[in-house]
Amino acid sequence: MTSPLQLFTDDPLAFILLAISLLLSIALHEYAHALAADLQGDRLPRAMGRLTLNPIKHLDPMGTILIFVAGFGWGKPVEFRPQALSSQRFGAALVALAGPTMNILLAVAGALAFRAAYGSIETLAVLRFLLVFVEINVLLAVFNLIPIPPLDGSRLLTIFLPPGKQKIIFFLDRWGMLILFGLIFLGRGAIFSPVTDFVRSTVLNLTGLN
């Protein structure tokens, strides 16, 4: 996995565009979690200052550093109380899905902006930013839907797994991080490529770019 820092030497503009896209997309992803919890009656994210569009409130210091050093990192998780949500069965899953849903919406918005700007904006950097922004948000949406803790997709297991299979969740809670790192660093993204390609194509088709 290539470190984004390598881009700073090879292509400084690409590094800046990638950095802005990553930080903005991660921050909005976490904001969506906070908003989904708040709309369902849990005021904890609001009390902790997470119901804001200020990116600084949603970025984890270590996770942000690793994004630029190792090409892999994370945002600051949004704390919420499942018992305070209006739906006890589906509430936590809705909060979890809010993040990837936000990324899909951002990817669509970025693609629409690219379509509108293409041919009318002479600044190539703007078009490059929009393309990177679309790509980053597609990757974040797909990656976070993997049903392995601590990713958002793991919340869905509690709904779709039958009671007799709930021990799978306990296993993933214990070993999920090791499995996740193995998928990232050993698989080098090849495992996710068919899904990301499909989502990317769908977004581009919906916005008339394919």
**Chain segment 166-177, per-residue pLDDT in tens:** 677 778 878 777
Q: What is the mean pLDDT of residues 74-95?
A: 93
> What is the per-residue pLDDT for 156?
82
122 labelled catalytic: no
Q: What is the mean pLDDT of residues 101-110?
A: 97
**Chain segment 41-78, per-residue pLDDT in tens:** 999 999 999 999 999 999 999 989 888 777 677 899 99
Q: What percent of the chain is modeled with pLDDT above 90?
A: 47
- Higher pLDDT pick, 7 / 157: 157
Q: What percent of the chain is modeled with pLDDT above 70?
A: 88
Closest CA to 39 of 91, 96, 105: 91
CA distance 48 to 21: 25
- Categorize the per-residue pLDDT at 1 as very low, low, confident or very high, splitting at 50, 70 and 90: very low
Q: Which of 30, 79, 122, 135 is catalytic?
A: 30
Q: What is the mean pLDDT of residues 88-95?
A: 91
Angle between helices 12-39 and 91-117 (to 10 degrees): 140
